[in-house]
């Protein structure tokens, strides 16, 4: 179901007349991706759950898409719900996801499979089926997560490099049930099912394996990934535990700027040689390094100094080599991502102003880590 848009006719850039669909358009990545596509001159079909909501009005004022933007009501769990949205589109960015990242470890196998994982897989396949019916969609770019990867080999030893082949074994997730395990499992199984369906039906599917996305945001609420990253400051116990779990599994925390992750989605949509999965990571730091840097730019007696698993060697490198070998370049370095995240969180009222907080220029002049 479609709802016509904002009368503003702002234009800019040169998208070559291409039309793209973005699912989950009011989420953190989705909202920025819509903004980025419109600024580059593309036309966009954005799917949302409730086009008439105040939340959508908020985004329409920011996107300023004019006649190049149309909203469509769509639900992952309703078959053919995305048919109208993808019709006539050159490609689809499947960014939408609908689940809580932090769930109790007490859920049994059957409950998790039937109540969470199966509906998410069905939702992803519903979108791919709509793409098949459209006859126009040439490529689908799927937003995955670094949670589907691991830096540990089968013997529990650290791998020197984490690349796209380092998939976390499904049985390990089921057996350990560490913090965030249902999210990890759902992402892994949904991606597997999507690639299998795409292969069987001739759909060109690309997966963007995102690390922790941070930096500026358009959403009225502070995105979960930012609350996750700043949990050493806020003391959110669930997210602190999850942050420690990620550090223990990956050996470090991988980060990527909002703008870079959206640019990577578009780059992989349009590059002729793109195939398979691509890790998107500006750089990474250990949990202790993250806390040390947060302490420099946002001094606070409440800063929680937590550490993950003790490492006997250097942490694994979360490698974005495959993406960079394709020609993609990052705009923002690791410390820029962290610093902008703190600044934007203060502006949004999520963090209180800190009179001792260093300026971006001062911090970057001494500790900046360039993107490579």
Smallest CA-to-CA distance from 122 within 81, 82, 78, 180 is with 78
pLDDT computed for residue 328 by the predictor: 98
Angle at 332 between CA 329 and CA 334, to 5 degrees: 115
Instruction: Identify how many contiguous H helices and E strands the chain contains and give both numbers.
Output: 15, 13
- Residue 187 is a catalytic residue: yes
Contact by Cβ (8 Å): 31, 219: yes
- Tens-digit pLDDT profile for residues 311-339: 445 567 899 999 999 999 999 999 999 99
CB count in 10 Å sphere of residue 294? 22
Residue 82, helix vs strand vs coil? coil
Pairing of strands 283-285, 253-257: antiparallel
Q: From CA 131, how far away is CA 134, in angstroms rounded?
A: 5
Residue 345 has pLDDT above 90, yes or no: yes
pLDDT computed for residue 116 by the predictor: 84
pLDDT computed for residue 3 by the predictor: 47
- Tens-digit pLDDT profile for residues 102-151: 555 555 677 788 888 888 999 999 999 999 999 999 999 999 999 899 99
H-run or E-run covering 229: helix 224-229
pLDDT computed for residue 357 by the predictor: 56
Whose tokens are 């610093």? That residue is 339
| Bridge partners for 92 per DSSP | 21, 140
Task: List, in order, residues 6 or more apart from 150 with CB less than 8 Å away.
Answer: 162, 166, 167, 168, 169, 172, 249, 250
CA distances for 357 relative to 154, 203, 217, 304, 345, angstroms? 43, 49, 21, 17, 13
Residue 253, helix vs strand vs coil? strand
Residue from 35, 129, 187, 322 carrying the catalytic annotation? 187
Q: From CA 298, how far away is CA 240, in angstroms rounded?
A: 17
Band of residue 155 on the pLDDT scale cut at 50, 70, 90: confident
| Order of all β-strands in the sheet with 91-94 | 2-3, 69-73, 43-48, 19-23, 91-94, 139-145, 205-210, 276-280
H-run or E-run covering 213: strand 212-214
Q: From CA 145, how far away is CA 187, in angstroms rounded?
A: 7
Angle at 106 between CA 242 and CA 249, to 5 degrees: 30
Topology, domain 2-218+254-283+313-331: Rossmann fold (3.40.50)
CA distances for 110 relative to 78, 106, 107, 254, 266, angstroms? 22, 12, 8, 32, 37
Band of residue 157 on the pLDDT scale cut at 50, 70, 90: confident
pTM: 0.88
Band of residue 365 on the pLDDT scale cut at 50, 70, 90: very low
pLDDT computed for residue 101 by the predictor: 54
CA distances for 79 relative to 20, 102, 129, 166, 322, angstroms? 20, 27, 9, 33, 35
Torsion of CA 292, 297, 302, 308, to 10 degrees: -30
CA distances for 340 relative to 87, 214, 257, angstroms? 37, 8, 9
Residue 179 has pLDDT above 60, yes or no: yes
Q: From CA 119, how far away is CA 205, in angstroms rounded?
A: 20
> Structural domain boundaries of the chain?
2-218+254-283+313-331
Maximum mean pLDDT: which of 44-48, 101-105, 153-157, 287-291: 44-48
Q: What mean pLDDT do residues 16-29 have? A: 93
């Amino acid at each position: 179901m479609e709802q016509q848009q904002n009368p503003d006719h702002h234009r800019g850039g040169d998208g070559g007349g291409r039309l793209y669909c973005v699912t989950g358009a009011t989420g953190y990545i989705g909202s920025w991706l819509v903004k980025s596509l419109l600024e580059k001159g593309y036309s966009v079909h954005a799917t949302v759950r409730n086009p008439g909501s105040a939340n959508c009005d908020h985004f329409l004022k920011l996107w300023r898409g004019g006649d190049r933007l149309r909203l469509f009501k769509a639900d992952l769990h309703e078959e053919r719900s995305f048919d109208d949205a993808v019709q006539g589109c050159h490609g689809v960015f499947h960014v939408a996801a609908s689940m809580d990242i932090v769930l109790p470890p007490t859920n049994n196998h059957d409950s998790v499979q039937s109540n969470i994982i199966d509906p998410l897989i069905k939702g992803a396949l519903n979108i791919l089926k709509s793409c098949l019916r459209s006859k126009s969609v040439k490529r689908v770019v799927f937003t995955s997560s670094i949670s589907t990867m691991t830096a540990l080999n089968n013997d529990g030893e650290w791998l020197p490099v984490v690349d796209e082949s380092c998939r976390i074994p499904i049985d390990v997730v089921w057996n350990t049930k560490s913090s965030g395990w249902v999210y990890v499992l759902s992402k892994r199984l949904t991606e597997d099912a999507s690639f299998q369906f795409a292969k069987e039906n001739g759909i060109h599917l690309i997966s963007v394996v995102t690390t922790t996305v941070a930096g500026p945001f358009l959403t009225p609420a502070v995105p979960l990934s930012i609350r996750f990253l700043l949990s050493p400051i806020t003391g959110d116990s669930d997210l602190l535990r999850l942050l420690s779990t990620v550090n223990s599994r990956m050996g470090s925390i991988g980060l990527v700027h909002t703008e870079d992750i959206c640019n990577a989605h578009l780059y992989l949509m349009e590059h002729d040689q793109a195939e398979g999965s691509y890790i998107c990571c500006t750089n990474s730091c250990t949990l202790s390094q993250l806390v040390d840097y947060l302490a420099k730019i946002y001094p606070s007696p409440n800063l929680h100094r937590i550490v993950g698993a003790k490492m006997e060697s250097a942490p694994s490198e979360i490698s974005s080599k495959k993406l960079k070998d394709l020609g993609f370049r990052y705009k923002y370095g690791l410390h820029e991502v962290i610093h902008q995240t703190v600044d934007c969180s203060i502006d949004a009222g999520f963090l209180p102003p800190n009179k001792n907080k260093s300026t971006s220029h001062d911090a970057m002049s001494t500790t900046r880590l360039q993107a490579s």
